[in-house]
Structure formats: structure tokens, C-alpha cells
Amino acid sequence: MRYLITSGKGLLGLEFIRQLKNAEVLSLDLPETDVCDLAALMERTVLFRPDVILHCAAWTDVDGCEDDPAKAYHVNSIGTRNVCLAAKEVGASLVYFSTDYVFDGVKNSPYQEYDPPAPLSVYGQTKLAGERIAAELCPKRYVIRTSWLFGLFGRNFVDAILRQAEEGKTISVVADQIGSPTYAKDLVQAVLALLRLPYSAYGTYHFSNSGACSWYDLAVAVIKKAGRRGKVIPVTTEAMRRPAPRPAYSVLSHELLQSLGIVPRPWQEALIDYLEELGFPQDRH
């Protein structure tokens, strides 16, 4: 199998590269290749002729997207269109990574894959547009919605909490947004398991680690498991006064992946694994 990865220098792209070390991989990223440049993207894709394109590139700054909708649409939607056209040109399967923010958060039970999307933010709207573009242009596609991603190779919430705790700061964290953390290592393992099935199970899937918590709950768990003394204060979403609205509840159901035998572990176990990789010893007894 030959894999092309967009945003190969990002958190998710580098985790794919780590786990695909024995495969043929072409990693594309700025400044050498921009997914918004169709000609350059098409040239690299046609020369490499991948079997699978892992489309990890996106502008994920939720508040930044709200402040600059044109850029968000250009990167998350038009960039995805270009990747879809390149995949179609060489007959490659596409894996498009989307987000829990395609939902509005009014539900009080986990969102299933076929629940109607209703994004509140520009970020969610442009990622949903990417889903629809992929559906229109790529019959050989996997849409993977995920949430609250953390991992070894990029900025993320867990690292931010650890850094602030090291600096002895009092940390204000939102307590009224409920979702599911996702360890990039587990997400990549799940996607590769899906791709290695003896048949093609194209479609839309949800993956996060199992269980639900608030951002505040996650921050408290990080500090406790890392053995730090940082103080965490729960605050409301309204008090944070951020430009982009967030869903109050965005827990994802894993029903379709579980039907294929791909079952996520609890987020608490994934967090312990991550902290161990960072060098924080954990008592597993």
C-alpha cells in the first residue's frame, strides 16, 4: 500500500508516519505543497500514485475560523475539493478527517453517524462542507469524525494544561462543554484497521476514546495523573467570551466502527498511555 498524507508535519500526520514506518509514504505539507494549490497537489499525487490519501490538512483554529471565514472555507472546503480531485484522478481511496463540531450539541445522548449535522461555528460549517464535497466527488471515501484530539506531535489541550501547571498558574477551564477526548495513537490504529479490512467499508464513522467528560474534568485528570499541583477552576462557556460558539454536548457514538470489530478504549486509559509516553510514570495497579 502507498499512502499520501496531507499535513504530514501535523499532530495526526506524524502519528500516521510513525505507525506506517514499513509502508511507502509521501508526506505533503506547507510550504512545499499547499492543498489549496490544485496544480501542485495534482502533480505530486500523479507522480506518487497512492492507494490511499489520508487528508489530515485543515485549519483547526476554531476562533480563527470564526474571525476569517474566507480563509476557513478556502482551506477546509476548497482544499478538500482539490484533494478529492487528486484522489479521483489516480483512483485512490480518501480518508477525510472531520469533527464533532458538525453537530449543534442540543442532543443529550451520543451523536450517531446519521444524525443530521447542524454546525454552530464557521469551523464546523467548513468541515461539513468538506464532508459533502467528498461525498460528491469520491465514491471511495471514509469520513472520520473525531473530537478533542491530543497526541505526541503537536499542540493540544493536554499539553497546554501540563505547561500551565508547570508554570504554577491557576487554570480556568470550561466545565459546561461535554465531549470525548481522542488519543491520536488510537485514532490512527482504528483508521488503519478499517483500511486493512478484507473488504472496502466506505462511509462515515465516528471515532473518539470511549466515555465522556468536560474540559474541566479532563484538565483535573491530567494534573492528577501527571502528579502536578496546578489549580483548576471551572468556568462557564459564556464567561470565556470566545468568538466561535461551541456545542455544549458533542459525544460521538461508535456504533458503526464497533460493528466492524473496532472498539475504542476509555479516554482515561488513553490519557495514562500518553502521559507515560511523555515521561510521567503511571501506577496501573
Q: Would you name the residues annotated as active-site residues?
A: 123
Residues β-bridged to residue 93: 52
- H-type alpha helices, the chain: 11-19, 38-48, 62-67, 69-73, 79-90, 122-137, 157-166, 184-195, 215-226, 237-240, 255-259, 267-278
What are the angstrom distances between the C-alpha of 269 and each of 39, 183, 197, 222, 238?
A: 44, 10, 25, 12, 31
Strand partners, 24: 2
- Residue identified by cell 472555507 is 73
Chain Cα centroid distance, residue 135? 19
Question: How far, in Å, CA of 97 to CA of 244, rounded?
Answer: 20
Beta strands 93-99 and 52-55 are: parallel
